[in-house]
Structure 1
Amino acid sequence: MRRRGDRVGPADLVLEDGAELRVTDALPPDLPFGYHTLRRPGDDTPHLLIVSPGRCRPPDRRAWGWAVQLYAARSRTSWGVGDLADLRRLAGWAAGRGAGFLLVNPLHATAPVTPVQPSPYYPASRRFHSPLYLRVEDVPGAAGVLDEETIARGRALNDLPELDRDATWRLKLAALERVWESGPPGEEFELWRAGKGAGLEEFATWCVLAERHGPSWRAWPAGYRRPDGPAVARFARDHAPRVRFHAWLQWLTERQLATAAAGLPVIQDLPVGVDPDGADAWSWQDLLAQGVSVGAPGDEFNAAGQDWGLPPFVPWKLRQAGYRPFIDSVRATIAASGGLRIDHVMGLFRLWWIPSGASAAQGAYVRYPAGDLLDIVALESHRAGAPVIGEDLGTVEPGVRETLAERGLLSYRLLWFEQDDPAAWPESAMAAVTTHDLPTVAGLWTGSDLAEQRRLGLRPNEDGSRALRAALAAHGGLEPDADAAHAVLSAYRLLAKAPSLLLSATLDDALAVPERPNIPGADALRPNWRLPLPVPLEDLETLPLPRELGEILRAAVDADASPAGQRP
């Protein structure tokens, strides 16, 4: 990646806005931030020139907010899965009580067929969103075609104790097809579609191919396995109306997400990678390493290590491609939001590659061009006007947190992980008690999380869990027979001592839910990613525990109302 003042010799420079400059020696010192093209005499291939501010934009102010598994946050008007109208409702409720943001699970696209992939961290694409989250009644034209029976069937799915994404998607897809058939979407959609370019068309074509031939492109007829082949071009022409329909679903999803995020910043989550059978892997297959997946080596919380089943980009191929897959993924995820959380941010520095057929313990680290990737993150943060949080949990090599701090990424600090008093945590951080992969406060305090792991035949860290519970009791002033609600409030009083710029609480803790959303490695043993909140949003808004928890964090933020970065 070149920088202002670098010597490049004679070259033609085409700026992102189309302006052309002649460079005789060094790059001009006043180049605008952006993605520019450098052409040298004699070079067959132009060079991508990325001019970055180098640092991410910080939060505008200190704030607290809610971490939300959107699919679990159902209202009485949902169709079995929390949707973007529910996100809008949550944002209004949270803002009305002083919250400054919502942190949501990844909302990225999965294959548009059943069974629907339940894990938000195993997306088919990081460039597009899942239309499963659409509120059908809010789609333009829906009022004229939706009947009461369909709406009632959708809302009846809320009565299920576990999410049935397949039933929800079948019902929503049929309803959306009826809306589509009732009339053309109009010029606004066509202009949006044209502006999205080839990437949207390729994704929409993949969706139609997945409907015809299944969700795994590697099992498709040979002619369809490459997006640039003549068979795919013919297929797209032959199925143009259906390709247009899937583009329309993306337009609807983008519009509803923007509406939901208009009243309160929504921080979106960027997963580590993508489904090897999905759209992005199909589009960028030449840039991905074959026969390996990424994961994590063993640590004190998981001695066997983890294999996430996600294919990694080959570092030199990613660079040769001008980092386009990474740029597109970051930009799409940070768009129309109030921030970006990068899952396993250490992957910008190195990733644990695991050969096919090997155990997670038999992997090895492969280095990535962290400087270039962080420059891209900073540029996209600057353009979106949004802060970035790096999820730096687990095995973090020396120097990574320091580098992230220099680049303006917020660290991610958890009460369950940190040994220090929260008052000693860094200011440049998002502070939380737990995550979707770790025990809830109620699960830890009551022992139900340990009991579930034992029941599933897993090997929980018994000593570590007991020590964590004892620490919560000691530092939180809890009696042994305290109930889960008191444990929740004590945990968040401890968290409120942190000087971190962002304080985050989960809705699971706000309702004293004992089950965590996900137990890693237990997908076949329990309903990971399929547990709804125990009450609808209408009830959550009236309960005392969410109100009291929010008041604890609001008081901590209000006690220090100075603008971010200007506090003593």
Structure 2
Amino acid sequence: MTATQADAWGLQQDWVDADDRPQRVADETIKRLREVIGRPPEDLDERRPVVTRPGRRLGLGPVTVVCEDGTERQVGDVLPEDFPLGYHRVQVGGRDRLLVVSPGRCAVPTEQRWGWTVQLYGARSRRSWGIGDLGDLRTLREWTERLGGGFLLVNPLHAVAPTLPQETSPYLPATRRFRNPVYLRVEDVPGFDPALLSGHEADLAALRSGGPVDRDGAWALKRRVLRAVFEARSGADEDEQRWRAEVGGPLEEWGAWCALADEHGPDSRAWPDDVRGPDAPGVAAYVAAHRADVDFHVWLQWLVDRQLRDAAGDLTVLQDLPIGVSGAGADAWAWQDVLAAGVSVGAPPDLLNSSGQDWGSPPLVPWRLQLAEYAPFIQSVRSTISGAGGLRIDHVMGLFRLWWVPEGEGPTEGAYVRYPAEDLLDIVALESHRAGAVVVGEDLGTVEPGVREALAERGILSYKVLWFEDEDPADWPPQAMAAVTTHDLPTVAGLWSGTDVDEQLATTDMAEEDVRSGRKDLLARLARGGLDEDAGPDEAVASAYAQLAAAPSLLLSVALEDAVSEERRPNVPGTVERDNWCIPLPVPLEDLVEDPRPARLVEMFADGARGSVPE
């Protein structure tokens, strides 16, 4: 085994950090993580799914394939070039195995486009109930289309537990398969009656009064009104019934988990033994006794699905796929045998955070994921990609290897665990192909050699960020999404004014020297645009995006925070002493769409953002 190879458990004891320095994980950490992972079975290669492409050698000999449409095909050792893409079954050596046939390449637009990056919860209108909703997303989409934009990139919309308090981080959902009903525009729900708001005028006024996003207040009022609408309706119509049948078991499972969470609390690890898993003996009886409660949560998903599709229209809306889920949530409840206990995922120290990061999500055990036929991954990708035409994979390096942090240890005491990247990437390509969806891989931080090449081979766009790059944007690759900043990095105005540094020093334990040095580096990147020292924040924003406009990258992303010179970034990693993920835009949407600053900002993209992009 060479210095950077993984052992039989997938652990990589030797690795190279973001500064190209070799590192070695302590033997005790390796031993502890081996116990968590467990030794893979000796016959894993004979049981795991076969993931391939048409025209490739199967290595299985002549076999009968039962295609997903129910037809059978006899194939030899090489899969025919015309073999249908999809998820099939094959009998090999008496074993029934999943056969995934992928095109090997994602759907990629052929013309350059610009679009907005949107933290939807903070994009509030005067109509919304204190939190940006899917009606507001529709407004943003229509405005984007009028300005000539080609996409929106939104924060993860995945669901959290239906209880209070609501989880604030979009990157720690209860599930990656279903969406958060807090984003519903209640007035657009069939059957809504304004009379249902009688007696709640003060609550609604408080939500609309400004200040940080109040998810608890918004969800409490929305849930109360939505439940009243649900109880007054006559039942599901044909479209809803058809959709419910199509989504099937996972949807019913989600409804059951939500109903159980309402009764027993949001942490399913603390529930009574007889309901501590979807197949536990008491779950079926509970569902039968609480049918209306389960159906209510299922109905909410139907509403979200329809409102999202309406909001997206024909515009590409890239939805963000978090790297993991809450260990207490619905996906962890459903797949507890696939998840690792006693560890969480994160990142070693890098440019984003000199102390490293712990994101709090339990990782999937690679060999158990294979024996689960990749179902947790497939369902998460498919559900996130549906209905809007695009996908951004957070920390895409996690498809290759993930930084596991043992419980009770800091992020610097972790180790990398390798994943079956070739299979996972081809699954992404298959889901992208079926949905006609562009895919972006967020490849910031510690990126090992070969990752970006593997992404490019499959048409997964890289993620180029001005604050991270030494090269001039004009020299960035075409096959990328280009941005100035991200939700975890300073806004242009916050960087320029110095308030972002003040906030980091006040809310994190990062060393002052590191914080100030980081600002100096970013200011140097900003200064490449020829910015005067006495320039104002709007001029700083214009300078940064003038640099971005020179990039040949396929997608050019403009942060809405920058469009209105907001100084606060959505999230400061490494702190809970701040309103992370609760900061609204400083103007309501009605004023935003009339504000001349965003329109002027995107004028610089008008000439170049419709041309064809070379392969």
* TM-score for the superposition, normalised by structure 1: 0.96
Contact 2:552 2:613 in 1 (8 A): no
Residues 221-264 of structure 1: per-residue CA shift (max 9 Å, x gap): 11111110120111111111111111000000000000011142
Partner of 1:514: 567
1:465 aligns with 2:519: yes
Partner of 1:179: 229
| 1:21 Cα deviation after fit | 2.3
1:351 aligns with 2:395: no
1:290 aligns with 2:341: yes
Q: 1:280 aligns with which of 331, 342, 349?
A: 331
SS at match of 1:287: coil
| 1:8 Cα deviation after fit | 1.9
Alignment of 1:183-332 (within 5 A): 183=233, 184-332=235-383
Residues 395-423 of structure 1: per-residue CA shift (max 9 Å, x gap): 00111111111111100001100001111
Contact 1:67 1:104 in 2 (8 A): yes
Contact 1:145 1:178 in 2 (8 A): no
Q: 2:605 aligns with which of 544, 553, 563?
A: 553
Cα distance 1:145–1:180, how it changes in 2: closer, same or farther (>3 A)? Answer: farther
SS at match of 1:112: coil
Off by >6 Å, runs of 4+ in structure 1: none
Alignment of 1:25-424 (within 5 A): 25-40=77-92, 42-43=94-95, 46-143=96-193, 146-147=196-197, 150=200, 153-154=203-204, 156-183=206-233, 184-424=235-475
Counterparts of 1:269 and 1:393 in 2: how far apart (Å)? 15
Cα distance 1:457–1:330, how it changes in 2: closer, same or farther (>3 A)? Answer: closer
Counterparts of 1:495 and 1:33 in 2: how far apart (Å)? 38
Single out whichever of 285-294 and 68-77 deviates more from structure 2.
285-294
Residues 425-479 of structure 1: per-residue CA shift (max 9 Å, x gap): 0010000000000000000000000011122253252112123214423x22222
Cα distance 1:115–1:36, how it changes in 2: closer, same or farther (>3 A)? Answer: same
Partner of 2:12: none
Partner of 1:481: 534
Q: 2:67 aligns with which of 3, 9, 15?
A: 15
Contact 2:51 2:423 in 1 (8 A): no
| 1:149 Cα deviation after fit | 5.3
Single out whichever of 76-85 and 461-470 deviates more from structure 2.
461-470
Counterparts of 2:587 and 2:313 in 1: how far apart (Å)? 25
Contact 1:91 1:263 in 2 (8 A): no
Counterparts of 1:307 and 1:28 in 2: how far apart (Å)? 45
SS at match of 1:66: strand
Contact 1:496 1:552 in 2 (8 A): yes
Contact 1:7 1:27 in 2 (8 A): no
1:464 maps to a residue whose letter is: G
| 1:303 Cα deviation after fit | 2.2
Counterparts of 1:209 and 1:241 in 2: how far apart (Å)? 12
SS at match of 1:208: helix
Counterparts of 1:422 and 1:123 in 2: how far apart (Å)? 34
SS at match of 1:366: strand
Counterparts of 2:341 and 2:128 in 1: how far apart (Å)? 40
1:8 maps to a residue whose letter is: L
1:562 aligns with 2:606: no
Cα distance 1:263–1:12, how it changes in 2: closer, same or farther (>3 A)? Answer: closer
Contact 2:87 2:101 in 1 (8 A): yes
Contact 1:78 1:154 in 2 (8 A): no
Residues 318-344 of structure 1: per-residue CA shift (max 9 Å, x gap): 111111110000000110112110000
| 1:61 Cα deviation after fit | 1.8
Instruction: Give identity over the alignment, percent.
Output: 57
1:433 maps to a residue whose letter is: V
Q: Which runs of 5 or more structure 1 residues have no equivalent in the other structure?
A: none
Partner of 2:35: none
Residues 53-100 of structure 1: per-residue CA shift (max 9 Å, x gap): 101111242100000000000000000100000000000001100110
Counterparts of 2:352 and 2:150 in 1: how far apart (Å)? 32
Contact 1:335 1:384 in 2 (8 A): yes
